[in-house]
Amino acid sequence: MTAKLYALTCGRLVGRLKDMIEGEDGEVALPIPSYLIEHAKGRVLFDTGMHPDCRTNAAGRLGERVARIFGFQHYGADDDIGSRLQAVDRDPGKVDYIVNSHLHFDHAGGNELVPNATMVVQRREWLAANDADLAAKVGFYKADFDHGHPIKQVDGEHDLFGDGSVVCIPTYGHTPGHQSLKVRTERGEVVLTGDACYFCRTLKERRLPRFVFDRPAMLDSLSRLAALEQGGAKLFFGHDPDFWKDVPQAPVPAF
């Protein structure tokens, strides 16, 4: 079996490049990707972008520190995941699964707008998010993920439909339970890295972001992604603006 993969740009987030890759400076406008995967057995979103409150009251939702670090001026009224789905004639209420790479605000903030899906998260990520002290350390906000969705906690690799076409891959390090997603399309295999690999340069140069939960684990995850790429998979990097500008957007398949 194969699945169809569509890319959805859910705005951009302005950040400090030094926070994204060691040894750099200046600002960068980071694309906020979400991916729609359509399979005979269900419809899946990989990540959901930011909550609409981020455009009007980022400090109130995320705190003053995060609102100072990031700029939300490129997150428009039609950039939330609900609007992006509706723009390509998909009903947010008819999404079956949300696979969250992790539970940071720019990856899980739109979960609330996809009300009927089952969330698929790594068990260690869910446990961390529900531990108040660890959640505060890692930067998780209950407002992003606590909306009554059914939760499917998985441990390590997980085949979502049982046919190898959509497979969660553990890529720990950025957060306690970060995961990437392998998707088999008609053109071949794609790996959606999430924040396990911000940029193409992250993989090539092994320069990590400034804020990492477990650096050795993240380096191991980069090695795993590199092996998948060497095996023929195409990697879609987490927030790489140079890479993203050439990714076809829905309703055209991304790959």
Averaged pLDDT in 10-residue chunks for the chain of 255 residues: 97 96 94 98 98 96 94 97 98 98 98 98 98 96 97 98 98 98 98 98 95 97 98 98 97 98
Q: pTM here? A: 0.96
**Mind listing the pLDDT tens digit for each residue in 197-232?**
999 999 999 999 999 999 999 999 999 999 999 999
3-state secondary structure the chain: CCCEEEEEEEEEEEEEHHHHCCCCCCEEEEEEEEEEEEECCEEEEECCCCCCHHHHHHHHHHCHHHHHHCECCCCCCCCCHHHHHHHCCCCHHHCCEEECCCCCHHHHCCHHHCCCCEEEEEHHHHHHHCCHHHHHHHCCCHHHHCCCCCEEEECCCEECCCCCCEEEEECCCCCCCCEEEEEEECCEEEEECHHHCCCHHHHHHCCCCCCCCCHHHHHHHHHHHHHHHHCCCEEECCCCHHHHCCCCCCCCCCC
**Hey, what domains does the chain have and what are their CATH numbers?**
4-244 (3.60.15.10)
